Structure 1
Amino acid sequence: MNAPAFLTRDLTFKSSSLDEKQRTVEATATAFGSVDRGAFIERLDPTATTAEAFIGLPVLDSHRQDSLSAVLGTVTAARADNGCILVTIKFTSDSRANPVIADIREGMITGVSIGYQVEKWADSRDPDTGRSIRTITQFKPREVSFVSVPADPDARIRAMPTENQPNSPEPPKTPTPDLAQRNQQIRSIAGTLNLTTEWTDSQIDSTSTLDEIRAAAITEAEKRTTPPIRTQSVQILADHTDPHTRAERMSDAMMTRIDPTHKPEDSARDFIGMSIPEMARDCLRNANVSTTALSQATIVSRALHSTSDFPLIMGNTVGRTLRQSYDSVPSALKKLARQTTVKDFRAKHRIILSEAPDLEKLNEHGEYKHGTMSESAESFKIDTFGRMIGITRQALINDDLGALNDLPRRLGIAAADFEAEFFIKLLEMNGGKGPKMGDGNPVFHEGHRNLAQTKGKPSIETLSVLRQALRHQVSLSGKRLNLSPRHLIIPAELETLAQKLLAEITPNRIDDVNPFSDLGMVVEGRFNNPDRWYLATSHSQMDGLEYAYLEGEPGPQTETKAGFEIDGIKIKVRLDFGACFGDWRGWQMNEGK
């Protein structure tokens, strides 16, 4: 699982534990409470970390990691107390921390926040509210920061004992560690500030106190020109602010509700189980729009017409569903065709070259002769086809997944059917002879030697005639191509006959061997003529049926917009598509009957 790399929690404190002479203050680092992360409620298990893990952590200004001037001090001691972890913060000795100390004294700064890295967690659901619960079972604290806005009222700077509070716990005292503990803390301080091994060893060998070593570490770090690089924090910020990445993850999570067999990416698990209104609320929060006291209807309406990525998420989900259904029912003829791309909608002239010239023996002078290649041209163009559908606001508020499933699914099937019909219409042009080629004749023509003179249903005899015609086809320069048949293309009415004809059998005599058992059968139920059938070679041997999409947009494409004509989302489906015959030599046709 890919855990969030760096998270923060805001706490509150009081200034009464401030010791300005010693430049220390005591705070509650964590009370193991809950935080609403939008997509889920995050809870910290009391055993998720230890007090010792906080010792030596840097104390920063508002989680700033871009400058050493943001380092205000360090955590010198930590202990567990009544289900909380208390830390003692010692400020740096220079003047940079003085304004913070003064604001703490006046009660202006009351917020503390910890930054931590999640290592293990477990997901569940609240039985009363239905909200997703993520319990952090192991995390590693990385830093402590003073912040302006606290979030957790149960965590605060510890108050010093007063006469009215005789039983208040005493502030923790900085322990005097033994040699092993002292060395470990020195290494922790050096690692946090990215100091060298030589500096660390020199401090271990010195007789300085830990407070003196911390001050020396901060001074040494200020001399360095390159601050510590924290790439994890930068990655998380980019991940949360990129609307396309967020939309992909939320759409991936929604697909698990539409299709129970769908396996989401680990990065989408934060959003699994969220309803459509819950996603709308999360999108508004991510766009810094308050959703307090708003009804579900208002939340969905605002998410549709705000700058949030909610319409993008809905469109992404529709696009996924449409593409799945489109890919599930490909045209039978499309499997035989070669896919290409074009850059625009102008007619394209496709140049067909003959085979390369024959090699010749060199004469006694070693002279090479020039060869020539014949060529012809075919042209075609793509066009744009499309439809628009609407998903109503009521369907989104009702969390109606059928609106996000049935309509796109049907449109995907319709797009696949459109392509299949396109191929059928192409083959059945000019009374079933196909489109006209560059020489002015249709694809299937006596002059092309690909129109069977002996008409009849598929049989050993009729197949043999067409196979021989394929073998004897000639190139532009007049040479035989010796093409091999690979596909038998038939209407649904001839399917049973063809199955029997192509079935592999174990013959008792040589005369009983089936010579066409290696042919692939392609059945197309959309053919209008129940008798006409075809024999074709593969497009790897000879160019034949081809289809093209606009470059960079293969298959149906979707665009989403919050609509005014309908109170909801408008989704436009567009298909830039075209098909043609690149060459007639690889196909043979029999009119049947």
Structure 2
Amino acid sequence: MKMKTVLAVACTLATAFVMSFGLVSEAFAAMPHAPVHLAASLVDAVREFGPHLAIPLVVMRANLADLQKRATDKIAELKDDTAPDAARTIQADHKKLLDEIDALQGDIRKAEQDEAVTPPANPTANVDGARAADIYDIGTRAGMTNEAIQAALRNGTAVDAFRAQAFDHMTAQSARTPTSGVHVIRDEAETRRSGLTTALAFRLGGIDQPTGDQAAQARGFMDNHDVVEFAAAAMGYRGMLRTVREREEMLERAFHATSDFPAIFSSAINTLLERRYALAQPTYRRISRRRDFVDFRPHYAVSVGEFPMLEKMTESGEIKFGTFGEGKETIAVLPYAKGIRVSRQMMVNDRLNAIGELLGGYGRTVARFEEITFYAMMLSANTKLSDGQVVFHASHNNLAASGSAITVASIGVGKAAMRKQKNLDGATMNVQPSILLVSPDKETEALQYLSPINANDSIKVNPHVGTLEPVVAAELSGNAWYLFASPDEAAVYQWGLLDGYSAPRIRFDEPFGTQGQAMTVEHDFGVGAIEFRGAYKDPGA
């Protein structure tokens, strides 16, 4: 009898110990240092110290929360690139956890039903367990040490008294670690680089007069007037550079040392280059549509037919389904580059004027290169669509049978041909031309023809005035003329850059030397034909 009493007391103490560490799942959530499977360990402890005792309901709930977390973590291990064998193993482990969760949920439901029918045999143990859980929750949230929490549990400290201790602990911690408002301060080196770049770009002509934050950052460098002065500012040099040798040595140090000047110089030049490139307005962009490329591989330009025509529904409510026509053309972006060199004399002597004109002018040069490339493609007999024919071909119904001068009648024929074009599904497109493209040889004729004239005779009125915009391309020659629809309505040609780039760029090729600064101008550009229905050609006369 005495032995049974000792065993009962021991089991009661074990149960209270378990409940004090795992009464509620929130207590575990508030303990970042707690083991992941603490709840399961406590369940095992109950079974070891008292096999005949029922596992407390609160411990089972904590164990359930642990299993659910493990199941969530396990399924999260599945990735798109997970090997098939590993994926099957993960799925098997996950299913096992789900089975354990189902079984435990059944045990919890049974325990809840038993608890509702039969009151706990030891109410005091439950009260002590609740106090322990509350103290653990309060202590861990307050950042108290485990020793302090254990001492409160052993001493029988009441929850309210312990809450006061936790508040005092947090107050002491706050006093030792004062906090203040957060102030985001720009790094001084970053501010200096930004200011130098802005000032140099302004001196080169790449940007307008800076304002706001840019002006504040660049204010200390706006009085610099040549490359050497900007190099000295980037190096932190505050003295006077009196001789040519000193100026050369400063440039050499700025480009050779681990200074920020190469990046500052490159950024300012690229800003200038991008601005000059954007100001250029090549004619090919008026008759083609832009689409950038994600890489250098050939990209499909898909022409999709219009929606199928509507049909009357049958008496039974049947809806007939149509199909889309689809054609494919390929086009790719290609890399282009050219090496250039700024001479030693220009770098030492220039006050940025010549350097700005030389490098900034390359923006216009690149735009001119695009113009040449586009019209070379357009006029080439090798530029064919997927049907094996060039864009302007009799089989496409967009090429006049014989050349004609620009007249009311000839333009009327071209307009009619464009309006009668059919899409891939056979529906009439009714395309309206908006551009009259000519060579310099036909410029005067085109301008005279499209100028409004107050005619006394209605027969002499030009009905096309105001409906067509003349565009003159220097890369064209001869008497041929073209009608084009707006690229937004019916694009015939497409152009684009590599995704992420909006302009050509300059990259330094080698460090500064006795012969000057070498660099490369790089540009990725693609152009090609994608359709034929939005244009018409007359060989001219």
TM range (shorter): 0.5 to 0.7
- When residues 386 and 495 of structure 1 are mapped into structure 2, their CA distance, relative to the original with a 3 A threshold, is same
Match of 1:325 among 255, 276, 283: 276
Q: What does 1:499-510 correspond to in 2, within 5 Å? A: 499-510=447-458
Match of 1:479 among 427, 432, 439: 427
Aligned counterparts of 1:515 and 1:522: Cα–Cα separation in 2: 19
Aligned counterparts of 1:260 and 1:553: Cα–Cα separation in 2: 17
Tell whether the 8 Å contact from 2:340 to 2:518 is kept in structure 1 after alignment: yes
Match of 1:311 among 258, 262, 268: 262
Match of 2:228 among 266, 277, 282: 277
By how many angstroms is 1:248 displaced? 4.5
- When residues 568 and 260 of structure 1 are mapped into structure 2, their CA distance, relative to the original with a 3 A threshold, is closer
Structure 1 residue aligned with 2:397: 449
Q: Which runs of 5+ in 1 are unaligned?
A: 1-218
* TM-score (normalizing by structure 2): 0.62
- When residues 246 and 424 of structure 1 are mapped into structure 2, their CA distance, relative to the original with a 3 A threshold, is farther
- When residues 453 and 274 of structure 1 are mapped into structure 2, their CA distance, relative to the original with a 3 A threshold, is same
Tell whether the 8 Å contact from 1:388 to 1:571 is kept in structure 2 after alignment: yes
Question: What amino acid is aligned across from residue 505 of structure 2 in structure 1?
Answer: Q
Structure 1 residue aligned with 2:388: 440
Aligned counterparts of 2:181 and 2:402: Cα–Cα separation in 1: 79
By how many angstroms is 1:561 displaced? 4.6
**Does 2:270 align with 1:340?**
no
Q: Which moved more, 1:308-317 or 1:492-501?
A: 308-317
Alignment: residue pair count:
362
Tell whether the 8 Å contact from 2:196 to 2:234 is kept in structure 1 after alignment: no
- When residues 465 and 510 of structure 1 are mapped into structure 2, their CA distance, relative to the original with a 3 A threshold, is same
Match of 1:557 among 505, 510, 517: 505
Structure 2 residue aligned with 1:569: 517
Tell whether the 8 Å contact from 1:311 to 1:569 is kept in structure 2 after alignment: no
Tell whether the 8 Å contact from 2:206 to 2:272 is kept in structure 1 after alignment: no
**Does 2:316 align with 1:365?**
yes
Q: What does 1:54-203 correspond to in 2, within 5 Å? A: none
Aligned counterparts of 1:392 and 1:466: Cα–Cα separation in 2: 54
- When residues 341 and 256 of structure 1 are mapped into structure 2, their CA distance, relative to the original with a 3 A threshold, is closer
By how many angstroms is 1:582 displaced? 1.3
Structure 2 residue aligned with 1:352: 303
Aligned counterparts of 2:515 and 2:284: Cα–Cα separation in 1: 41
By how many angstroms is 1:463 displaced? 0.6
- When residues 293 and 373 of structure 1 are mapped into structure 2, their CA distance, relative to the original with a 3 A threshold, is closer
**Does 2:214 align with 1:263?**
no
Tell whether the 8 Å contact from 1:257 to 1:273 is kept in structure 2 after alignment: no
Tell whether the 8 Å contact from 2:207 to 2:271 is kept in structure 1 after alignment: no
Question: What amino acid is aligned across from residue 544 of structure 1 in structure 2?
Answer: V
Question: What amino acid is aligned across from residue 374 of structure 2 in structure 1?
Answer: F
Match of 1:227 among 150, 172, 179: 179
**Does 2:536 align with 1:536?**
no
Aligned counterparts of 1:251 and 1:415: Cα–Cα separation in 2: 23
Q: Which moved more, 1:573-582 or 1:269-278?
A: 269-278
Question: What amino acid is aligned across from residue 227 of structure 1 in structure 2?
Answer: T
- When residues 449 and 417 of structure 1 are mapped into structure 2, their CA distance, relative to the original with a 3 A threshold, is same
Tell whether the 8 Å contact from 2:479 to 2:539 is kept in structure 1 after alignment: yes
Q: Which runs of 5+ in 2 are unaligned?
A: 1-170
Match of 1:522 among 446, 450, 471: 471
Structure 1 residue aligned with 2:441: 493
* TM-score (normalizing by structure 1): 0.57
- Partner of 2:406, secondary structure, is coil
- When residues 260 and 476 of structure 1 are mapped into structure 2, their CA distance, relative to the original with a 3 A threshold, is closer
Question: What amino acid is aligned across from residue 560 of structure 1 in structure 2?
Answer: F
By how many angstroms is 1:273 displaced? 1.6
Structure 2 residue aligned with 1:249: 195
Tell whether the 8 Å contact from 2:289 to 2:487 is kept in structure 1 after alignment: yes
**Does 2:375 align with 1:424?**
yes
- Partner of 2:433, secondary structure, is coil
Structure possessing the higher relative contact order (Cα contacts under 8 Å, 6 or more residues apart): 2
Structure 1 residue aligned with 2:114: none
- When residues 315 and 543 of structure 1 are mapped into structure 2, their CA distance, relative to the original with a 3 A threshold, is same
By how many angstroms is 1:253 displaced? 1.5
Question: What amino acid is aligned across from residue 485 of structure 1 in structure 2?
Answer: P
- When residues 319 and 224 of structure 1 are mapped into structure 2, their CA distance, relative to the original with a 3 A threshold, is same
- Partner of 1:571, secondary structure, is strand
Structure 1 residue aligned with 2:248: 297
| Cα deviation digits, residues 31-90 of structure 1 (max 9, x gap) | xxxxxxxxxxxxxxxxxxxxxxxxxxxxxxxxxxxxxxxxxxxxxxxxxxxxxxxxxxxx
Tell whether the 8 Å contact from 2:201 to 2:269 is kept in structure 1 after alignment: no
By how many angstroms is 1:261 displaced? 8.7
Q: What does 1:44-59 correspond to in 2, within 5 Å? A: none
Aligned counterparts of 1:293 and 1:363: Cα–Cα separation in 2: 92
- Partner of 1:386, secondary structure, is strand
Structure 1 residue aligned with 2:167: none
By how many angstroms is 1:393 displaced? 4.2
Aligned counterparts of 1:552 and 1:520: Cα–Cα separation in 2: 32
Question: What amino acid is aligned across from residue 283 of structure 1 in structure 2?
Answer: A
Structure 2 residue aligned with 1:461: 409
- Partner of 1:390, secondary structure, is strand
- Partner of 1:487, secondary structure, is strand
Aligned Cα root-mean-square deviation (Å): 2.7
Tell whether the 8 Å contact from 2:273 to 2:505 is kept in structure 1 after alignment: no
| Higher Rg of the two aligned structures | 2
- When residues 253 and 290 of structure 1 are mapped into structure 2, their CA distance, relative to the original with a 3 A threshold, is closer
Aligned counterparts of 2:361 and 2:536: Cα–Cα separation in 1: 35
- Partner of 2:291, secondary structure, is strand
Aligned counterparts of 1:292 and 1:495: Cα–Cα separation in 2: 58
Aligned counterparts of 1:308 and 1:393: Cα–Cα separation in 2: 20
By how many angstroms is 1:221 displaced? 12
| Cα deviation digits, residues 503-526 of structure 1 (max 9, x gap) | 123444433432111211101122
Q: Which moved more, 1:463-472 or 1:320-329?
A: 320-329
- Partner of 1:501, secondary structure, is helix
Match of 2:330 among 379, 382, 389: 379
| Cα deviation digits, residues 482-529 of structure 1 (max 9, x gap) | 0001000000111111111111234444334321112111011221x3
Tell whether the 8 Å contact from 1:486 to 1:537 is kept in structure 2 after alignment: yes
Tell whether the 8 Å contact from 1:315 to 1:559 is kept in structure 2 after alignment: yes
By how many angstroms is 1:220 displaced? 11
- When residues 370 and 302 of structure 1 are mapped into structure 2, their CA distance, relative to the original with a 3 A threshold, is same
Structure 1 residue aligned with 2:530: 582
- Partner of 2:323, secondary structure, is coil
By how many angstroms is 1:408 displaced? 1.0
Question: What amino acid is aligned across from residue 496 of structure 1 in structure 2?
Answer: T
